[in-house]
Structure 1
Amino acid sequence: MPEQIKRVVLAYSGGLDTSVILKWLQTEYGCEVVTFTADLGQGEELEPVRGKAQMAGVKDEHIFIDDLREEFVRDYVFPMFRANAVYEGQYLLGTSIARPLISKRQIEIAHEVGADAVAHGATGKGNDQVRFELGYYALDPDIKVIAPWREWDLTSRSRLIEFAEAHQIPVTKDKRGEAPFSTDANLLHTSSEGKVLEDPWVETPDYVYSRTGNPEDAPDTPEYIEIDFETGDAVAIDGTAMSPATLLARLNDYGRTHGIGRLDLVENRFVGMKSRGMYETPGGTILLAAHRGIEQLTLDRGAAHLKDELMPRYAELLYNGLWFSPEREMLQAAIDHSQQGVTGTVRLKLYKGSVNVVGRKADVAYNLYSEDVVTFEDDAGAYDQRDAEGFIKLNALRLRLLGRRKRR
């Protein structure tokens, strides 16, 4: 007998899975369902979700469709990019970084409406169940979590459709057959997994890509853009100031045109298995290159190298769903401190799937690069090359002692 639940907040997309979950919660738990749909820039019209929830008997005041695009980029994507976070050397964490915001808002709504539980549609094999639930428990340790995919016996698409038809849930034609792959999208990326992508030897079919044009078909003429940074965050493109979400959307447009940001990856899931996915992160790929470009001028060597040492740990915390952990917050504080002087402009060349930094500049107040010191011409006394002899001898001392010992 299921635990007694009076009201539950469901992370709801309006698709087949969450529509079935909504009805299943009503019938299995006999509870009132509150739906929450987050607009994170996934590029879909979300207002029809309201009608679907209403048809399922959800009260108007219990249907939440929230535009979280600016909060998503400002408070989650940008802090992550200050760290240059990349999981396993390649993945820009587009799915991972969305989950803590969804969890946070879901718990806020649960408190607003007096719900005693939250529910999600993540499967028992993936990372998202971990990410959602670690977020829930961090923000409300006593909340009840319902994960239908770990409880019910609707273990196939045909069973889901049977349940939907038995409960008058509309099933569109494209949902009646086996989906060729599953996708997740937000303003930062689109991920595709499963079915046609499960064999890691088989090249990703062209029809899987939705956010980027084929690099081979991209314009034959390179395009140059400039991105301005202030304290580690991008604030303008080609001199035009933009909000965080607007700026990322504009970079996505550039990335789509030039086929930038495709990744075919076999990754190590937190739950223990390997999975193959195809990721498209057009604007994020451009942003990462630009951020590293401005750090080259403005970040001290010691701080830069320490950041690179901390980054894999930071990325792993995000991938594993530990955004709200004290260790992530500690690392974020150190990373944010390092960005105080990361201000300037980067010029990038976009061409047929590639993005390259071709110029960078920073005001004298932030710039650590000195042409006077580094020049091969006369440096007018800015650097005394004779000092290098003592520097080398001091650093060689232990090596010379070791060498003498070996000779003996």
Structure 2
Amino acid sequence: MQKARDAGAVSARIVDAREELCRDFAFPVLQWQARYEQIYLLGTSIARPLISKACLGVAREVGADAYAHGATGKGNDQCRFQLAAEALDPTVQVIAPWRIARFREKFPGRTAMIEYCQERNIPVKATTSKPYSSDENCLHISYEAGRLEDLSVNGVELVEFGMTVSPQQAPDKAEPVTISFESGVPVMVNGTACGPLEVVEKLNAIGGRNGVGRIDMVENRFVGMKSRGVYEAPGMTVLYEAYRTLEQITLDRDLVHFRDRLAP
């Protein structure tokens, strides 16, 4: 909130949509066992429509008629934000600075934007020494750009992870964990009933301290280019494996194969 005020915002609001993200987005995607290009657990992509929904809800309350986002002009997020916003409100005006020529001329890259923020005491995570970007929510953290675009760089060594320890630093003994499901929805962790967010948070802690859930991949973007991303999603990685085991017990072969053909 202070950052918004310092940047000149007339008003600001924090909307806690974490429970909805886990219940209505992450868990249905989990039931599909959906992984982008068979690896990535979609922690960023499924959050964007919910962010648009929350922002447009506030916009209606305050009488705003435009929706602005800071997604770059070469990434997937610009499509996610815009398509979701226009689907929810076809009349909304979408403002995307990275697609505006005069903005790109003033800020040709991340280094220029970092310098601008430093000059005006606007706190940002990125630095000129580690100019990769990160996106964080309760499901995962993603890292991309900067030195990560150099494939000779070891991504998992470069990134300062926020949710997981490395497998080398994890304990040398197994930590048992029990997850209970009802109608395919996780409802208990180690015998304790939990809401969707609490399930994810508990498994984030368990998976994170055991070095679970890191990936480093080169993916195909919606806009037609390749991008390297490093991700950590400890809780969802544990859930995906638990749900896969549940499916092995309960679903027949033809149903699983049919689901896999339909899954994103």
1:330-352 deviation line (CA, Å, top 9, x unaligned): xxxxxxxxxxxxxxxxxxxxxxx
Aligned to 1:233: 185
SS at 2:164's partner residue?
Answer: coil
Give me the identity figure in percent: 49
Structure number with greater CO (CA < 8 Å, separation at least 6) is 2
Deviation at 1:234, TM superposition (A): 0.5
SS at 1:54's partner residue?
Answer: helix
Structure 2, unaligned stretches of length 5 or more? none
Aligned to 1:119: 68
Structure of greater Rg: 1
- In structure 2, relative to structure 1, the CA distance for the partners of 1:219 and 1:162 (3 Å cut) is closer
TM-score (norm 2): 0.91
Match of 1:197 among 148, 172, 176: 148
1:295-335 deviation line (CA, Å, top 9, x unaligned): 12222333222111111xx2xxxxxxxxxxxxxxxxxxxxx
Amino acid at match of 2:108: T
1:213 aligns with 2:162: no
- In structure 2, relative to structure 1, the CA distance for the partners of 1:266 and 1:78 (3 Å cut) is same
Amino acid at match of 1:206: E
1:148 aligns with 2:97: yes
Q: In terms of mean alpha carbon deviation, does 170-179 or 221-230 score higher?
A: 170-179
Distance 1:105 1:174 in 2: 24
1:69-123 deviation line (CA, Å, top 9, x unaligned): 1111011111110111011111111111110100111111121111111000000
1:67 aligns with 2:20: no
Distance 2:261 2:197 in 1: 29
Superposition pairs for residues 219-298 of structure 1, below 5 Å?
A: 219-298=171-250
**Contact 1:200–1:266 (Cα < 8 Å) also in 2:** no
**Contact 1:161–1:171 (Cα < 8 Å) also in 2:** no
Aligned to 1:52: 3
Q: In terms of mean alpha carbon deviation, does 168-177 or 143-152 score higher?
A: 168-177
1:132 aligns with 2:81: yes
SS at 1:138's partner residue?
Answer: helix
Deviation at 1:171, TM superposition (A): 3.9
1:79 aligns with 2:28: yes
- In structure 2, relative to structure 1, the CA distance for the partners of 1:89 and 1:162 (3 Å cut) is closer
SS at 1:126's partner residue?
Answer: coil
**Contact 1:256–1:282 (Cα < 8 Å) also in 2:** yes
Aligned to 2:121: 170
1:348-403 deviation line (CA, Å, top 9, x unaligned): xxxxxxxxxxxxxxxxxxxxxxxxxxxxxxxxxxxxxxxxxxxxxxxxxxxxxxxx
Amino acid at match of 1:144: Q
**Contact 2:117–2:123 (Cα < 8 Å) also in 1:** no
Match of 1:299 among 231, 234, 251: 251
Amino acid at match of 1:112: E
Deviation at 1:201, TM superposition (A): 3.1
1:107 aligns with 2:64: no
**Contact 2:204–2:234 (Cα < 8 Å) also in 1:** yes
1:193-244 deviation line (CA, Å, top 9, x unaligned): 1122112233225351332111122111111111000111100011100111
Q: In terms of mean alpha carbon deviation, does 75-84 or 174-183 score higher?
A: 174-183
Q: In terms of mean alpha carbon deviation, does 265-274 or 213-222 score higher?
A: 213-222
SS at 1:276's partner residue?
Answer: strand
Deviation at 1:133, TM superposition (A): 0.3
Amino acid at match of 2:238: I
Distance 2:169 2:84 in 1: 41
SS at 1:266's partner residue?
Answer: strand
Match of 1:184 among 135, 138, 144: 135
Distance 2:206 2:114 in 1: 40
**Contact 2:110–2:131 (Cα < 8 Å) also in 1:** no
Distance 2:60 2:125 in 1: 37
SS at 2:178's partner residue?
Answer: strand
Distance 1:203 1:291 in 2: 31
Distance 2:52 2:198 in 1: 23
Distance 2:202 2:5 in 1: 35
1:162-215 deviation line (CA, Å, top 9, x unaligned): 6558xx832459766354311111111111111221122332253513321111
SS at 1:278's partner residue?
Answer: strand
